[in-house]
Structure 1
Amino acid sequence: MTNAVKIKGKIEYILEAKAVSANLSEAQYSQLYRYFSTTDCSIAILTNGIQIWFFTDLDAPNKLDSNPFFKFDLFDYNDNDLKELEKFHHDRFSIEDIKSSASTLKRMKAAISSIEAQFNEPDDEFVRMISKGFYDGKMTASVVLEFKPIIKRAFEDLVRQKIQKRLTAAFNENVNIPTIKDIDSVTQLSEDADGIETTGEEIDGFNIVRAIGAEVADISRIVMRDQKSYCGINFDDNNRKPIVRLHLNSKTKFLTIFDADKAGTRFDIVQVTDIFKAKNQIVSVIQSYLKNGAS
């Protein structure tokens, strides 16, 4: 079903609605293309009621772009997404502002894609460019080969430090980071504490998980229960709502991360800050408990 929306007497965008079960990435929306080229509108919207995809004509005038410039998901959004969505409000609608934002978003996506490619596997030219800042010798093929894993590791460490700094800053706005001395005031430990020693690494791991969870939930709902064989972190201090178990008391460190069905998956780490690498999985399980709050 395709509809047109008028603002101040002018058709500003058209919308095609699919079934809620439809996968938008696989959906056919030829009507949207056809109507877009035959009207004066500048925005086309494709939705299944949960996901909302916004298109325009950045690539060629009056021809709908093949890729959306903005996607909004009712079950997965952040403050920046809401700010973008506000631009489509009747009282704020400005096609000039929207198309300018669309162009910026498109370039940002391209930039992110390029950076991500270099992050995953830096090419020779990128390695040469970065190495010029600290290496004065000739950049031969063997030097590039030697520096490539170093640049990749430096890139990963820089991103990890940036993430940790931002999450810790957000965390500190809500609560002081606990130390070994005051851990009892902010966590619930096992009732049978015999033989249980809460280590500094476990405190750090708990803080990292709470910092990650602070993006989607009140951190007071993320609670630690230390056990003899692992350090458990649960939602709402409920053993039936496990988020992650920290296994940090041996040479081989790993996490057990739970999903919405409470199935645990092993996630190996080298150091405690590697928990940040599991951010998506941790956020996902917390969101699942938020959606099913009554369970």
Structure 2
Amino acid sequence: MDFNEQLCVFSNRIPKIVEGIKTEEATKTGLVMPFLQILGYNVFDPTEVCPECIADVGIKKGEKIDYAIMQDGKPIILIECKTVGTDLATVHMSQLFRYFSVGPAKIGILTNGVKYLFYSDCEALNKMDTKPFLDVDLLNLTEQSAENLKQFRKESFNVDKILPSAMNMKYIKAMKLILAQEMENPSQDFVKYFAHQIYDGLLTKNVVNNFTEITKRALHQFINDIINDRLKSAMSPEIPEQPKEIEENVEEESDIITTDEEREGFLIVRAILSDTVDPTRVIMRDVKTYCGIILDDNNRKPICRLHFNSQTKRYITIFVNGKEEKYPITSTPDIYKYASQMRDVVKLYDTQ
């Protein structure tokens, strides 16, 4: 399995592993060590992964950090672990801060085994930032987070390349948060910036209030237009008609109603997979209980199923290693969150 496949398999196993974890040591053994192995590190070689790494920090002697990833006898990554379920936002990282300031490592990680927060010294040399430049939730893996993790693998780790990208990731993350906030609740300064460019009159309070809703709607429509353009470019000249799923109990075609939301979901899946396979190989087969999406018009190559019939509980199931894994959906664009899982499914079929 390649790196993305290993991450996907491990992510799907986590909910079962977590059930039996009650302590920090169990978190390390059951979650953190397997994750480090996926990154390519030998957790059973203390010269490569040093547990309870000790250093003297100022007047404090024998300070310990849970793990230190070593290279040429020196720590390059420091890892502080907490029990699974711990809210990392409430954790005081005193040990990690102290060790970071006196050691050669430029990457610090705080984790509860499921969520990983990556820190560096982007703002002040040899002083660990208070905010992470990257956070990865293994239970909600995205294609981008998997790509970001690749640079921390043993085979590709290069701190001189990571540090510049760490600063970029930190600022991109901050800007995305600002944009998300502005999309939901545009600030007056944000609204005025756009209003000044299209409105010649005086921006009174009432005018700004009117433009606030206009700005919000324009932003959402702009994002939707981008998504639709991507979908159109991924579509073949013709979208296949709604072929019927072949099941043991043959259903009457008239009983099957393919909704606009299901069609949109199908087009999103096809768009996601367009850089992996020929989009015409991705076929929709709608049945009463779900809308199935398969590869090569072959029932033995299921990719995913869209369960959009319920108005309250909507979800998508993806066939990971032959097992149907369930993921929540609030709106069809949420499908993009699971792009890497679907690409992995298709890649596996082609390798087989």
Answer whether TM exceeds 0.5 for this pair.
yes
1:53–1:70: 8 Å Cα contact kept in structure 2? yes
Residue 62 of structure 1 is matched in structure 2 by: 126
Q: Using the TM superposition, name which of 153-162 and 212-221 deviates more.
A: 212-221
Could you say what the CA RMSD is over the residues aligned between the two structures, in angstroms?
A: 4.1
Of 233, 245, 252, the residue aligned with 1:193 is 252
Q: Do structure 1's residue 155 and structure 2's residue 219 form an aligned pair?
A: yes
Q: CA deviation at 1:154?
A: 1.0
Aligned mates of 2:80, 2:192 — CA distance in 1? 48
Residue 239 of structure 2 is matched in structure 1 by: 178
Which AA in structure 1 matches 2:180? E
Q: Do structure 1's residue 207 and structure 2's residue 263 form an aligned pair?
A: yes
Q: CA deviation at 1:152?
A: 1.1
Of 279, 287, 290, the residue aligned with 2:333 is 279
Q: Do structure 1's residue 224 and structure 2's residue 281 form an aligned pair?
A: no
Q: CA deviation at 1:158?
A: 0.6
Aligned mates of 1:47, 1:29 — CA distance in 2? 11
Higher helix share: 2
Residue 273 of structure 1 is matched in structure 2 by: none
Q: Using the TM superposition, name which of 57-66 and 145-154 deviates more.
A: 57-66
Residue 307 of structure 2 is matched in structure 1 by: 244
Aligned mates of 1:266, 1:39 — CA distance in 2? 44
Aligned mates of 2:314, 2:90 — CA distance in 1? 31
Which AA in structure 2 matches 1:207? R
User: Deviation per CA, 1:148-170, whole angstroms, max 9, x where unpaired?
Assistant: 2111111111111112323454x
Aligned mates of 2:73, 2:314 — CA distance in 1? 53
Aligned mates of 2:329, 2:156 — CA distance in 1? 48
Residue 250 of structure 1 is matched in structure 2 by: none
**SS of 1:132's equivalent?**
helix
Aligned mates of 2:337, 2:286 — CA distance in 1? 16
Q: TM-score, normalised by structure 1?
A: 0.68
**Identity, % of aligned positions:** 24
1:205–1:246: 8 Å Cα contact kept in structure 2? no
Q: Using the TM superposition, name which of 6-15 and 101-110 deviates more.
A: 6-15
Residue 181 of structure 2 is matched in structure 1 by: 117
2:316–2:329: 8 Å Cα contact kept in structure 1? no
User: Deviation per CA, 1:106-159, whole angstroms, max 9, x where unpaired?
Assistant: 111121122112111112222222123322222222222222211111111111
Q: Using the TM superposition, name which of 47-56 and 114-123 deviates more.
A: 47-56
2:269–2:335: 8 Å Cα contact kept in structure 1? no
Aligned mates of 1:245, 1:87 — CA distance in 2? 37
Change (3 A) 1:4 1:160: same
Aligned mates of 1:168, 1:75 — CA distance in 2? 31
Higher relative contact order (CA 8 A, sep 6+): 2
Aligned mates of 1:162, 1:136 — CA distance in 2? 29
**SS of 1:107's equivalent?**
helix
1:100-111 counterparts in 2 under 5 A? 100-111=164-175
**SS of 1:25's equivalent?**
helix
